[in-house]
Chains A and B, each alone.
Chain A
Amino acid sequence: MNNKKILLSLFVFVLIGLITNEYLPETNKKGQEIFTKILSGENGLFNPDLSIYQNVAKGLLESFQIALIGTVFAGFFSLMLGILAAENTSPKPISGFIKFTLNAIRTIPEILLAIIFIVGVGPGAFAGVLALGFHSTGTLSKLTAEVTESINKGPIEAVLAVGGSQISVFRYSALPQIMPEFVSILLYRLEINIRAASVLGMVGAGGIGKTLFFALMARNWSHVGTILIGIIIVVTLVDYISGKIRSKLI
């Protein structure tokens, strides 16, 4: 279905909703009233309270830092693990074992990891860093292994043919082939982690999520609106910048 059709059907649904509104049961009418209030009421989402911008900015900065440190941490380990997990650079049993472990790590959701780490290291940004770092290591290593497995064999033979050692093969042939794609997936992971970091705070792992959680609990929709605007700006900005860098790398 193309966009036009989707828009058209949405429009029809809203129209039907408006027409049948008169005949709705009382409870639904109440729900609708509340919903309208949440959205556009005096204290609603669409009337953001911009006076709290300092608080929001601080939270966003912390979320960004959590995402950045978590991603760098994951990048460091996944470059090593990814190459060890690749079948063309590592003995089969080792590669198989690492791949299995990585798969297991990847299945645990970030939010669950965050809760586990909060129990371990206490609430705060560090638990968030560990949760994101751990989960991202799982996904990034798998992608790095795939990149490593797809590298061109020819340049490797060229280094072997001149008497180069395994270290030279890695430095002059494998790494230059792996690096651009690795940095690209790392930046992409940073985008994902920034979104994830804004939610992690809700379970106590620091960042904007904490502010969001308190605003939600207090039903302070105008604060929630401000926070959402902040998250949208940061995520869009990071997506845009990393997209630019990635298009140059590949």
Chain B
Amino acid sequence: MKPLLKIENISKKYPNSKKYALFNFDLDIFPSEIIAIVGKSGSGKSTFLRCVNGLTEASNGNIYFKQRNTKSMSSKEYRKYRTNIGFIFQNYNLQDRISVLDNVLTGLLGQRNPLMTTFGLWSKQDKEKAKSILFEMGLSQHVQKRADQLSGGEKQRVSIARALIQDPKIILADEPVASLDPPTAKKILDDLKTKCKKRKIAVVINLHDIEMALKYSDRIIGLRNGEKVWDSPSSEATKESFKQIYQKT
């Protein structure tokens, strides 16, 4: 099987920093697999996810989406590429002052005519789709509320809905539950997993909680100081492997 996304030797060095935040990182992502990336803070987990969809520009390396190098894409093609990737942020990054429904619709901004969306004109199908995803996420009663009136858990559900409406091939989730209490975190990860498996979406999720990583992923990757130190199916990850990932340097 060919990978959906092939990441080849990407490295990232931030300006004014001597060390690489991410160094020669390789990863093949296959459809509907859930990959957990674990590691201490500052190990390069977020940098990696941000490099994948270009929120941060990688210093070297290549990313191939359906065998096409993203570096050779025009800016229009790159925006098209981004529509295939949902991104879930740790602090949700919703548009606070607009409604929950409109927030979900923003997930389609890369796929609809900018002139229409600038005037807030969305088709009936789009609105219905947004509502049905909100229903699926258990947010039916909040559709017309302003996003800043929701609790943290509800906000993260809206941001998952925003990613799902894109019909993405891959979802990148950067510490999606780090700001939430454990029971809410568990419910959200349960939902994320079932919804993505159902739609055959691949998920790459950054987690610092080992138990959660083991429970929700098919494959675990360990990062230490920007380098990959572990890569195995979750079933093969042992205490020893985590010691190796988290060991002091």
Chain A residues near B (Cβ < 8 Å) = 154-155, 157-165, 167-168, 171-173, 176-177, 179-180
Interface stretch among B9-17, B32-40, B91-99?
B91-99
Are A161 and B118 closer than 8 Å at their CB atoms?
no
Chain B, residues 56-99, CB within 8 Å of chain A (1/0): the string is 00000000000000000000000111110111010101111110
Are B55 and A155 closer than 8 Å at their CB atoms?
no
Q: Which residue of B lies closest to A179 (CB)?
A: B97
SS class of chain B's interface: helix, strand, loop or mixed?
Answer: mixed
Given the known interface contacts A162-B106, A165-B79, the answer about A172 and B162 at a Cβ–Cβ threshold of 8 Å is no
Chain B residues near A (Cβ < 8 Å) = 53, 55, 79-83, 85-87, 89, 91, 93-98, 102, 106-111, 114, 117-118, 159, 162, 166
Are B98 and A163 closer than 8 Å at their CB atoms?
no
Are A163 and B83 closer than 8 Å at their CB atoms?
yes
Are B106 and A160 closer than 8 Å at their CB atoms?
no
Set of chain B residues within 8 Å of A179, measured between Cβ atoms? 97
Set of chain A residues within 8 Å of B97, measured between Cβ atoms? 176-177, 179-180
Number of A-B contacts (CB under 8 A): 79
Set of chain B residues within 8 Å of A171, measured between Cβ atoms? 117-118
Set of chain A residues within 8 Å of B94, measured between Cβ atoms? 155, 158
The 9 A-B residue pairs with the shortest CB-CB distance, nearest first, are A163-B110, A164-B109, A163-B82, A154-B93, A163-B83, A158-B93, A161-B87, A163-B79, A168-B109
Q: Which residue of A lies closest to B117 (CB)?
A: A168
Are B89 and A154 closer than 8 Å at their CB atoms?
yes
Set of chain B residues within 8 Å of A173, measured between Cβ atoms? 95
CB of A192, distance to nearest CB on chain B (Å) = 26
Given the known interface contacts A161-B82, A161-B87, A162-B162, the answer about A172 and B106 at a Cβ–Cβ threshold of 8 Å is yes
**Given A164-B110, A172-B106, A177-B96; 19 other pairs, CB 8 A cutoff:** A154-B91, A155-B93, A155-B95, A158-B106, A161-B53, A161-B85, A162-B83, A162-B109, A163-B109, A163-B111, A164-B106, A164-B109, A168-B109, A171-B117, A172-B117, A173-B95, A176-B97, A177-B97, A180-B97
